[in-house]
Amino acid sequence: MAYTLLRHTAAGPGWFKSILGEYGYSYTPEELSRAHAPARELYLRATREGRDFEASMEQAVGFWQEYNSIILHALGVTAALHQEIARRIYTQAWDPTSWELYPDVVPTLDELRGRGIRLALVSNFIDTLQTVCAVNGIADYFDTIVCSVEAGAMKPDPRIFQVALRRMEVPAARAWHVGDNYWADVLGARAAGLEPVLIDRARTGVRADCPVITTLDEVVDLIEERAAA
């Protein structure tokens, strides 16, 4: 979901700058960017290792507390404020109003549903996922919406995909999964028996052992190519 269908309306450093300003702290964009680097490394390492950091609300709160505290430590914020500020940051990040759709999402979902293709949303996310989708007007496109805290497992664990497949009553061999993270989405979908498609919205030129698209509407082209083969 995140960075496949929707993106944050503001970047993390922007939230830190705003919230820390309320506590009398001021940082340059360069300082904020440097402080985020070790936290991003934690996220990448946890994803690549298949760490279940959003398989429950308790785990999600713990992980994002750790993530934000790394940034606050790097910025020199007094330790006594870490828990309070970290909570404000991850609460802001999870808020349904903090997300916006990519421009190609609704036209693509309309096209897919118009072709009779059934859709499910599978995301490493907390229990606000349904509301995030509803607020952004896309909840009704999906036959089911599965978040990791509800499934008790997060991508790349096959179990989260299996929850969606059971609800849809669709065999894995007939399902595709489109996602932006190779370790979570491609490896996870493949382990569950789905066909993975990697979306590279940043146009990094990534090469992968699966189809790679740069905009969501390209998935329609892939479907047409498959049908014509």
pTM for this structure?
0.92
Digit-coded pLDDT (tens) for 30-41: 999 999 999 999
> Would residue 1 count as lying in a domain?
no
Q: How confident is the model at residue 1 (pLDDT cuts 50, 70, 90)?
A: confident
User: pLDDT at position 12, please?
Assistant: 74
User: pLDDT at position 183, please?
Assistant: 94
Domain with 23 in it: 6-98
Q: Count how many domains the chain has.
A: 2
Q: How confident is the model at residue 2 (pLDDT cuts 50, 70, 90)?
A: confident
72 and 132 co-located in one domain: no
Q: How confident is the model at residue 81 (pLDDT cuts 50, 70, 90)?
A: very high
Digit-coded pLDDT (tens) for 137-191: 999 999 999 999 999 999 999 999 999 999 999 999 999 999 999 999 999 999 9
- Where residue 194 sits, what CATH number does that domain have? 3.40.50.1000
33 and 72 co-located in one domain: yes
Please give the share of the chain, as a percent, with pLDDT higher than 90: 92
User: pLDDT at position 226, please?
Assistant: 87
Residues whose CB is less than 8 angstroms from the CB of residue 189 and which lie 6 or more positions away in sequence, other chains included: 155, 161, 176, 177, 179, 195, 196
> Would residue 106 count as lying in a domain?
yes
CA angle 212/164/127 to nearest 5° reads 95
User: pLDDT at position 204, please?
Assistant: 94
Q: Is 55 exposed, middle or buried (0-12, 13-18, 19+ CB in 10 A)?
A: buried
User: pLDDT at position 28, please?
Assistant: 94
In the block, residue with structure tokens 């996602």: 179
189 and 149 co-located in one domain: yes
Average predicted confidence (pLDDT) for the chain = 95
14 and 61 co-located in one domain: yes
Final residue before a domain boundary, out of 76, 98, 120: 98
91 and 193 co-located in one domain: no
User: pLDDT at position 53, please?
Assistant: 95
Q: Does pLDDT of 219 surpass 80?
A: yes
Q: How far is CA 212 from CA 143, 158, 172, 175, 200, in A?
A: 25, 21, 20, 17, 7
Closest C-alpha among 204, 201, 175, 170 to residue 188: 175
| Furthest CA-CA distance within the chain | 62
CA angle 21/43/50 to nearest 5° reads 155
User: pLDDT at position 13, please?
Assistant: 82
d(CA 46, CA 39): 11
User: pLDDT at position 43, please?
Assistant: 94
